[in-house]
Amino acid sequence: MTSDIPNLDLDDVVVPGVVSGLAAGRTVEPIWRNEIGGVTFSIDGGAEYVKYGPPHAEFDAGPEFVRLRWVRAYVAAPRPIDHGHDALGNRWLRTAGLSGTSAVLAGWRERPDIVVPELGRALRRFHDRVPVRDCAWDWSIAGRLEYLARPADALGPWPELDPVVCHGDACNPNFLLDSSGACVGYVDLGRLGVGDRWADLAPALLSLGWNFGAGWEPALLEGYGIDPDPEKQDFYTRLWNLA
């Protein structure tokens, strides 16, 4: 799995025709480019957003649309409007704007003392509020290894399951903060599904080093309210990195 450090060098981005069509004359601005070549566009000053990118395991617009529609009953997430693909085969997902800014933007990287504990608290709220019994999707070890065409024993013995509904990409940029540093929303939920809470905690902790530097793991775990578990953290970090 690649780093989630944002690529904000967007001067060379050309607005795709399908995005211009969805904007229908409103302003369009690229705001984010990821490692797979996908770009997120702001429409009309943040009234809407369009994620646009090539076919890839990390971006499947249809499943993300359905997950967003469901999870909004429990936590703040973007309202999905529509999705599709263009003549080039690239996928797009249009959502309504959500308040807040990414936890790694707008000066927040210089305030890990505020941001990192809140990332832990926000992830805990997500796990506590979204009900396992009503979730139709899976993000288990077995399902992920099968998707990656890896044998069941690829990572050695599996740790005991502590089930929650996982965000599926709990890296730091996917938490939105208000001006006080409180989390007000969650984005990039295309892999949401039932798995172990450490399946989210591991990439959240891994992401800290990319975005805030070393030494912040204890603050996130304290915010979440859980003791370190080196065995589970190692297992789920290795599983994350397989992708």
Residue 56: the pLDDT is 76
Task: Give per-residue pLDDT as tens, 106-147.
Answer: 799 999 999 999 999 999 999 999 999 999 999 999 999 999
The letter for the amino acid at 60 is D
pLDDT at 65 over 80: yes
Task: Give per-residue pLDDT as tens, 157-192.
Answer: 999 999 999 999 999 999 999 999 999 999 999 999
Please answer whether residues 53 and 36 qualify as being in contact, where contact means their C-beta atoms are separated by less than 8 angstroms.
yes
Nearest to 95 by CA among 121, 120, 72: 72
In the chain, the domains with their CATH numbers are: 17-96 (3.30.200.20), 101-242 (3.90.1200.10)
Residue 68: the pLDDT is 98
Calculate the average pLDDT of the chain.
93
pLDDT at 2 over 60: no
Nearest to 119 by CA among 218, 243, 237, 232: 218
| Beta-strand runs (E) in 54-182 | 80-85, 91-96, 101-102, 163-166, 175-177
